[in-house]
Amino acid sequence: MMGVGLLTVVTFLPALGAVALTLVPRRRDDILRAGALVVTAATFVVSIALYAGFDGDSPDFQFDELHAWLPQLGVGYHVGIDGISLLLVLLTTFLTPIALASAWHAIEDRTKEFVVAMLVLETGMLGVFVALDLFLFFVFWEAMLIPMYFIIGVWGGGRRVYAAIKFVLYTMVGSALMLVAILVLYYQHGGATGMYTFDLPTLARYVLAPGLAQDLMFLAFGLAFAIKVPLFPFHTWLPDAHVEAPTAGSVILAGVLLKMGTYGFLRFCLPLFPDASLTFGPLIFALAVVGIVYGAWVSTVQPDLKKLVAYSSVSHLGFVMLGVFTLNQQGLVGGVLQMINHGLSTGALFLMVGMIYERRHTRLIAEFGGLWSVMPAFSALFLIVCLSSLGLPGLNGFVGEFLILVGAFQINGWLAAAATTGIIFAAVYLLWMYQRVAFGEIRHEANRHLRDLDAREWALLAPALVFIVWIGVYPRTFTSKTEATVQALIAQVESKASVAQRPIVPAIVAGAAFRPGRQPSRP
Amino acid sequence: MLVLDLLPPRRTKEHLGGVALAGVVAALLASIAQWGRGARGFRDMVVLDDYALFLHVVICYAAALAVLLSIDYLRRNGIESGEYYALVLLSTSGMLLLASAGDLLIVFLGIELMSLPLYVLAGLFKTRLPAGEASLKYFLLGVFATTFLLYGTALIFGTTGATNLARIAAATAGRASGDALLTLGLGLLLVGFGFKISSVPFHMWAPDVYQGAPTSITALIATGSKAAAFGALLRVLMVALKSAQADWTVLLWAIAAVTMTAGNVVAIAQSNLKRMLAYSSIAHVGYMLIGLVAGGVPGAGAILYYLLAYTFTTAGAFGAILMAERADGEEAVEVQDYAGLARRHPVLAATLALYLLSLVGIPPLAGFMAKFALFGAAVRAGHVWLTVVAVLNSAIAAYYYLRVIVYMYMRDAEGAGTRVAPTFAGGLALAIAAIGIVLLGVAPAPFVDLAQAAVAPLMR
């Protein structure tokens, strides 16, 4: 397809907006904010056309665009979306304007740099989700680090510099090895087929021989993604980055950035390295469960609201990883849906934590109590968001987690049961926190005259709430677009995985034959 | 140029800079016009093939940027003089000669012609102690290095009976490797070149010289002289000593790994930006050596591309440092001087940040594409582990480059802070560098083509 397609427009609209806004004088904060909001809102509107035009029955990449970029090396500008990336693109375009609007008053210093960074960041994130060329993907993947680095480092809290550097270095170490693996794959494929290309669909058709080389490449990709997810034990950058980032940064970080890790596993690790995915699947499965339980336990004891939400992300992303590595229909669809759910619920949680922080300039749970009597609207919405995050039936979290667990029980009942405790602990830490914040007597004078939500804050939360209920009641709007893609993905992994039996990674996993989807034993 | 200086003195000597710039630009245009029309002269001692021309373009860019940066800098620091531009141009001629050397004797000649003016220029701040140290150290070690080079040349002449690169190649072509004298000669050549490109363990002079020399000269030493020396090294190894490739590949593998690691690790500890960039440039030499280890058209082409990208980036970074000065008029070289720069001078801070990010290798900037081409060549040649060392090094390097950005954007200045002396010429230089970085990063295809076409003459 020639010319500039819809997907390119969606991806680069924010970047164009950023360029335009650099021309606005520095002191016109109002124009800068409004301009950025208009650009991101326009991006969202255009991206709805992607949803409308997307054929959910087809597992193929749609809105496909391919232009030569560096033809000498087989690098192309190749973008396209399938049912998985469609939802993530929509999530990104949906959350970015909300995050921008949340910073309307919170960020008064150097507004120009802030809005430009946010817009560039959006292009980077969208690029990651739409890129179908390993080189292009890597470019977006790395480029996106820099605006996030600035957002945390310039507009963050007290230890912002430490958190920003930690965030960048962790990610760079992971992606450095991924670059080597990309190159090795490129030359292996080129050497075997005579076609040197970074094109993902082409590479994905190539059956890589199982063995050490594939395992190492899987691990190199996997490390980059596992750090991003973050999968236990690579999660230590996350609490720092989340706590120090400004609210807008936290929303984007939790809502979109973490999904890049899980998306990476789906898009690259599974189709490119199916054997290694099966080999290391049990290990990742187990780490996911550890992350679920560990994240939940650590959340329970956090005195700081933002840290609590940050650790809860470790737990929730553990669920997503669990779903992905069940490698069966329910688990994968649940995993994809849970990515969206987590983006909505945790994004909303961070927004609301940010709202009370703006009022009280503290996030310590012990500083609150009895908010229901002074801020009833806030408290009611906060309850809904908490319930969504802990997976109450009827709200979005339930659908995703249920599907994931259905998938997981088919693989290993014991681990799935352990993961289920994560849901229980989620109820513990979220409701206990909620109780300490909203119920009881007002213990601090400063809390007595807090104002309730204003119109802007309502406008920020309402869209997320709509989708929280929508997905909870009628998830088919979204799952219908992904199911075909997921089926195709599973078929691809299974057909490519060699027939040869390979030993499972020793010791770590409690036994368990890991043969996805072949031994259905319903819970 | 010397004559012009003697003309009745005008109020300033800025016109000399203009003349020097015109000369460099003329050389640049002449090089571009020669493209594709190979020429040889002086009984094949000077080769003007596409390879040499590509290097000429790089060197002319480096010299032009250095001259542009000099014009205002000299006036501010009171070291304006006609000799300055004469010496810069003389040194540039040496670089150009070195890049087109087809004979080991011309290599020697080129290195001397390039280095001698630089020794003087490095000590231009006559009244300052670091300048004296820089000049003397550069001179002594430089002379030492050329002696090694000459000795190596002699040994190779002794074994092969030739100093011409093509004839050395012909003489060694049939031989089994393991000729002790030839290997020794090769080793000595590598020592000599090692000094000039400042690879470990011959890098000790670089930080002191970079720190003590006027910043515009530092930029020239770091870009032009490095490009010329690297270009000559590449030609000597790939043309003359191709038969000993197995020997020098092993050697360079180790040197590359050690050089980039040492450069990056020591750079972390530097608080003086000029010293930091010195160590960073050592690390970048380590990356470029990967291209030599990889060999072939991809490896050599990647080196040329890297040199081009590196020239823009490094000259830009030194240029940005040169524009910033402390409240007391001194040059701002400590990282603390840059605290809060983004608040007062957002454009300069953003430009410097761009150069630094390109040095880190963040896409889609020139530094990333260049690294990618190098690493690709290395993986292609099967040196996966060297590539792993290199990418981990890039991650280490991110730390100290980003630290400068931390100071510029995330800290506030104490006291009066740093001023900026904006000038048209300096601004032009920075703009050229910034455009080059973005262009090489976003639209690399034509430049990769050129670089690969340029190395073709070496592969025959």
Nearest chain A residue to B442, by CA: A69
Residues B152-169 have a mean pLDDT of 84
Q: State the Cα–Cα distance between residues B107 and B92, nearest whole angstrom.
A: 14
Residues A416-431 have a mean pLDDT of 86
A491 touches chain B (CB under 8 A): no
Burial of residue A125, with CB atoms counted within 10 A of its CB: 0-12 exposed, 13-18 middle, 19 or more buried: buried
Q: CB–CB of A183 and B379 under 8 A? A: yes
Tell me what pLDDT residue A396 has. Answer: 83
Q: Which residue has the higher pLDDT, B156 or A448?
A: B156
Q: CB–CB of A145 and B362 under 8 A? A: yes
SS (H, E, C) B236-281: HHHHHCHHHHHHHHHHHHHHHHHHHHHHHHHHHCCCEHHHHHHHHH
Task: Specify whether the CB–CB gap between A300 and A428 falls below 8 A.
Answer: yes
B268 touches chain A (CB under 8 A): no
Which ranges of A27-159 would DSSP assign to H, the alpha helix?
Answer: 29-53, 83-102, 111-130, 134-143, 145-155
Nearest chain B residue to A158, by CA: B410
B132 touches chain A (CB under 8 A): no
Q: State the Cα–Cα distance between residues A176 and B389, nearest whole angstrom.
A: 10
Tell me what pLDDT residue B7 has. Answer: 37
Instruction: pLDDT band for B75, please (50, 70, 90 cuts).
Output: confident
Instruction: pLDDT band for B460, please (50, 70, 90 cuts).
Output: low
Residues A482-493 have a mean pLDDT of 82
Q: CB–CB of A180 and B372 under 8 A? A: no
Q: Give every CB contact of residue B112 below 8 A, 6+ residues apart in sequence.
A: B94, B146
- Lowest mean per-residue pLDDT among A364-378, A459-473, B22-36, B139-153: B22-36
Ordered DSSP codes for A360-402: HS--BGGG---HHHH-HHHHHHHHHHHHHHHT-TTSHHHHHHH
Residues B82-87 have a mean pLDDT of 79
Cβ-Cβ pairs closer than 8 A, A with B, add up to: 87
Model confidence over B384-394: pLDDT tens digits?
888 888 888 88
For residue A330, the SS3 value is helix
Residues A434-447 have a mean pLDDT of 80
Name B272's bridge partners: B334
Nearest chain A residue to B385, by CA: A180
Nearest chain A residue to B451, by CA: A72
Look up residue A475 and give its DSSP letter. T
Does the pLDDT of residue B27 top 70, yes or no? yes
Q: CB–CB of A72 and B363 under 8 A? A: no
Range B85-120 burial, b when 16+ CB lie within 10 A, else e? bbbbbbbbbbbbbbbbbbbbebbbbbbbbbbbbbbb
Name A62's bridge partners: A81
Residues B317-331 have a mean pLDDT of 78
Which residues in chain B are closer than 8 Å to A161, comparing Cβ atoms? 406, 410-411
B363 touches chain A (CB under 8 A): yes
Tell me what pLDDT residue A500 has. Answer: 41
Q: Give every CB contact of residue A236 below 8 A, 6+ residues apart in sequence.
A: none
Which ranges of B161-179 would DSSP assign to H, the alpha helix?
Answer: 165-173
A186 touches chain B (CB under 8 A): yes
B144 touches chain A (CB under 8 A): no
Smallest CA–CA distance, residue A147 to chain B, in Å, is: 12
Residues A425-442 have a mean pLDDT of 84
Q: CB–CB of B406 and A164 under 8 A? A: yes
Does the pLDDT of residue A523 top 50, yes or no? no
Q: State the Cα–Cα distance between residues A51 and B353, nearest whole angstrom.
A: 38
Task: Specify whether the CB–CB gap between B224 and B265 falls below 8 A.
Answer: no
Smallest CA–CA distance, residue B89 to chain A, in Å, is: 36
Q: CB–CB of B343 and A183 under 8 A? A: no
Model confidence over A501-522: pLDDT tens digits?
444 443 333 333 344 444 444 3
Mean pLDDT computed over every residue of chain B: 82
Its ipTM equals: 0.86
Task: Specify whether the CB–CB gap between B315 and B219 falls below 8 A.
Answer: yes
Of A139, A153, A180, the CB nearest to B379: A180
Q: State the Cα–Cα distance between residues A40 and A17, nearest whole angstrom.
A: 9
Is it true that the peptide bond before A230 is cis, omega within 30 degrees of 0? Answer: yes
Smallest CA–CA distance, residue A495 to chain B, in Å, is: 29
- Maximum mean pLDDT: which of A100-104, B48-52, B272-276: B272-276
Burial of residue A283, with CB atoms counted within 10 A of its CB: 0-12 exposed, 13-18 middle, 19 or more buried: middle
Of A138, A160, A186, the CB nearest to B410: A160
pTM: 0.88
Tell me what pLDDT residue A504 has. Answer: 41
Nearest of A92, A87, A79 to residue A51 by alpha carbon? A87
Which residues in chain A are closer than 8 Å to B379, comparing Cβ atoms? 180, 183-184, 186-187
- Lowest mean per-residue pLDDT among A191-195, A285-289, B435-439: A191-195
Name the percent of chain A in helix, strand, coil, to the closest 5. 75, 5, 25
Tell me what pLDDT residue B329 has. Answer: 67
Which residues in chain A are closer than 8 Å to B395, comparing Cβ atoms? 169, 172-173, 176
- Token representation of residue B351: 């430009």
Name A452's bridge partners: none
Q: Which residue has the higher pLDDT, B178 or B333?
A: B333
Q: Taking the CA atoms of chain B, what radius of gyration do you get in angstroms?
A: 21
Q: State the Cα–Cα distance between residues A463 and A93, nearest whole angstrom.
A: 13
A145 touches chain B (CB under 8 A): yes
